Every structure is written in structure tokens, then in C-alpha cells.
């Protein structure tokens, strides 16, 4: 194994150790793809299905994205972590998510 490859492997392992875990209440900005320019707030996570329930802002859109796609987006710089929302803001986002979800079910 050459030194360049060894350094790359070491760097990848070191970087993985310091990655921030994905948490509910996290806000990401979409840099590429279909939702470019939107903010995504992680509202809930279905452990069995491994799917995140997400509020897309500014349109207050109800979105479902797999854990695998979220991880891919973070790793490949499609999603840019903005911040962990304060609990009161997160609760407001949860309420908006539920309102939009109920509205879509009733229509």
C-alpha cells in the first residue's frame, strides 16, 4: 500500500470518528438536487422503516427521506448542517409538520 492511500484511509477513519450524529431538530440546507435552496428540519424518525419525517422550509412541505439518503447527502455535501434548533423552535416546526400532514390527509 502506498503512503498516499494509507493517509487517505487514516484521514477517513479519523474524520468518521468526529462526525456529528444526526439528531431530531437538526436543520440542513440543500445544496444540490430537486430540493435545492430548501431548509430541512428533522422532525421524527421511524426506526423500523429507517425513514425521517422532515419539514421542508420555507414552503412547510411534508417530506419523507430514508436514513440512507440523509447520510449520503451529508457525506457527499448535498446537505449542509446549519444548526440544532432550539427546543421551542423545534416544537413549532413539529406543530407545523402535524398541521400540514393533517391538511394533506383531509384534502
Whether residue 11 is predicted with pLDDT greater than 70 in this model: the reply is no
Residue 26's region, left for phi above 0, alpha for psi from -120 to 50, else beta, is beta
Overall average pLDDT of the 57-77 stretch: 94
| pLDDT tens for each residue of 84-93 | 999 999 999 9
Cα dihedral 29, 37, 74, 20, rounded to 10, equals 0
Question: Are the beta carbons of 29 and 15 closer than 8 angstroms?
Answer: no
Q: Is the dihedral of CA 46, 93, 96, 92 positive or negative?
A: positive
**pTM of the complete model:** 0.80
How many other CB atoms are found less than 10 A from the CB of residue 82?
13
Tell me what percent of the residues of the chain surpass a pLDDT of 70. Answer: 89
The pLDDT of residue 104 is: 84
Domains of the chain: 3-106 (2.30.30.30)
Identify any residues that bridge with 90 across adjacent strands, giving them in sequence order.
none
| pLDDT tens for each residue of 15-43 | 554 567 899 999 999 999 999 999 999 99
Residue 31's region, left for phi above 0, alpha for psi from -120 to 50, else beta, is alpha
What separation in angstroms does the CA of 51 have from each of 7, 12, 38, 67, 75? 34, 26, 19, 5, 17
Amino acid at each position: 500500500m502506498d503512503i498516499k492511500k494509507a493517509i487517505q484511509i487514516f484521514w477517513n477513519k479519523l474524520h468518521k470518528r468526529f462526525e456529528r450524529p444526526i439528531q431530531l431538530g437538526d436543520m440542513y440546507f440543500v445544496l444540490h438536487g430537486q430540493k435545492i435552496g430548501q431548509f430541512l428540519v428533522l422532525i421524527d424518525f421511524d426506526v423500523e422503516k429507517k425513514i425521517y419525517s422532515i419539514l421542508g422550509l420555507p414552503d412547510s412541505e411534508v417530506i419523507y427521506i430514508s436514513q440512507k439518503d440523509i447520510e449520503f447527502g451529508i457525506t457527499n455535501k448535498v446537505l449542509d448542517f446549519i444548526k440544532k434548533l432550539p427546543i421551542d423552535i423545534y416544537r413549532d416546526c413539529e406543530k407545523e409538520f402535524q398541521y400540514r400532514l393533517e391538511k394533506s390527509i383531509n384534502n
